[in-house]
Structure 1
């Protein structure tokens, strides 16, 4: 896949002084890691924690320099930079990687991950999760893990007290066939719009509603232009940890193990931190007048059963045989962990 201006990322990496680095000595291996979230958000907080622990556990020989908030470019540029070795790593939302690796779009399927943390982690750690990470190996990058980053919720200016009320409504989505099929299966229509246009589109009635994590809904003040919110937890927001292949292979095996294990070790604390921020965001949107309801387990099960076949078919159509294999591994893991 063709990306743009990797040289800009290199220049930014040389110029930016706002990154976080951990080293008490001249490290043998230095990795620039770029991502999109702000310094105050969960992803950056735990990247800094991982950086500190990895530095300590390698006796100062591995140093991570963390560049938050798109300082090294947009996600497309950072993914390209990682692929080409302009930077050593990026932590990217899986939703931004579908054009780079169609197999990862499996994570767009609604209710793919259970709400229970242990069950969801068991699926990430299963043969499905391992095969999903391995699907990046032909792209010049090494995917070393998945990081959970919360769930999406539905909002609308029209009633959404029942799934049947979604019928006929227009929702903004990212440019994803799977997400378009999700709403079609609910009787609604989906319009792909850039994120930067969403607030105005809601305000002007171009779309009736949208889907986003609660902390995004609060941070972007969508409560100013939306009346109703359903805490549905329907879309898992998963981050993929990507390293440049040449850099990764240059690391001693014991250092690679330290890095993988440390990223994995902090997941429970990362999930708790995210949950705390989501809970705080929920209070803010309530205080600002949104009508909030929480979907029951029975509703969530019914919606999964309704939308899974169509979104699964859309995914396989895009990802081909590799997608079929991943779906088979996923369905086995889900049955083993959750049951039917």
Structure 2
């Protein structure tokens, strides 16, 4: 066989091999489904699309993202994930707390600091976050891929307030989370559990007099229109978690597991950059949109009147979660002390 014939034969073999490889990739490619709790452009949405970007740029898989309301509320998308209808879900511990009581730890007031650098280092280094929580989520058929902060919690009310006494008799919406109810009970308010879809209307009709959320969510959801008094109490950060259906994840090849982990790491890095300065931008938008908005930032003395009530919530957390919850709380404090000492 001359050289030209050999080259033609090799080219033919290469073409067949390439076609076979392409066909195999097409067979192995999947369309994964991911749902989260927020609107277009909000933090969870940005995280989801960064995750999608990495998956699709580094594999033949595709990812379909569903935003708030497209598949129901938070409880609905968690049920769909546990049932295997969804592959990935982003749900905050405020809702996961009904399933994993220990996840409610994020609602103990004044446990987490509000300084972003400290918060980020805590999430990066914490043994509680990175070693203890994944085991707890796995018990419920969930592979915890990332926990990440979204923003400092801000309370909105029908009038300005600076003390627990001024929270008295105020019905403040909380997620369906027993510990968060305990927090606002400790703060002197009347906690009122409501699904997110009912909050705007309940504020508008004075069925409730307030709620809490990160400032970007207050802006994107238009909550300042019906609850214009913003109160920075310094009591904590809104945290969320991104996870996969455990059976789906366990069934992935080693390569796809690494792909998913790398995509989660990429989205996490991107989201930390995204939230840096986001609160200030959202507040500026709110103040530009409405001249009825007031902003109250509690001073240290005022904060102390709220912080003094936190032990009541810690005690309730331990009652609800037992020895394991107490161990988690102790590890949280140890992790935070290490970060703050650094």
Task: Normalising by structure 1, report the TM-score.
Answer: 0.81
Q: Answer whether contact 1:72 1:78 (CA < 8 A) is retained.
A: yes
2:73 equivalent in structure 1: 74
The aligned length equals 313
CA RMSD of aligned residues (A): 2.7
User: Bigger radius of gyration, 1 or 2?
Assistant: 2
Q: Unaligned 5+ residue runs, structure 2? A: 1-24
Change (3 A) 1:298 1:124: farther
1:206 counterpart residue number:
207
Q: SS of 1:139's equivalent?
A: coil
In 2, Cα distance between the equivalents of 1:333 and 1:293? 31
Matches within 5 A, 1:87-166: 87-125=86-124, 126-129=126-129, 130-162=131-163, 164-166=165-167
1:291 and 2:294 are equivalent in the alignment: yes
**What is the rounded CA distance, in whole Å, between the counterparts of 1:31 and 1:144 in structure 2?**
15
Following the alignment from structure 1 to structure 2, what is the Cα–Cα distance between the partners of residues 297 and 134?
37
Aligned-pair distance for 1:317? 1.8
CA contact (8 A) 2:36 2:66 kept: yes
Distance 1:293 1:272 in 2: 27
* Structure 1 range deviating more: 92-101 or 45-54: 45-54
Q: Is the 8 A contact 1:83 1:140 kept in 2?
A: yes
Unpaired runs of 5+ residues, structure 1, are: 1-24
Aligned equivalent of 1:19:
none
d(CA) in 1 for partners of 2:266 and 2:281?
Answer: 25
Residues 65 and 224 of structure 1, relative CA distance in 2, 3 Å threshold: closer
Q: 2:15: which partner in 1? A: none
CA contact under 8 A between 1:133 and 1:145: conserved in structure 2? no
Query: What is the TM-score with the length of structure 2 in the denominator?
Result: 0.80
In the aligned structure 2, how far is the partner of 1:136 from the partner of 1:317? 20
CA distance in 2, matches of 1:335, 1:276: 25
Q: Residue 227 of structure 1: CA displacement?
A: 4.1
SS at match of 2:33: strand
Report if aligned partners of 1:145, 1:241 keep a CA contact under 8 Å in 2.
yes
Question: How many Å apart are 1:168 and its aligned residue?
Answer: 4.5
Alpha carbons 1:144, 1:242 under 8 Å: kept: yes
In the alignment, the residues of structure 2 paired with residue 303 and residue 146 of structure 1 have an alpha-carbon distance, to the nearest angstrom, of 30
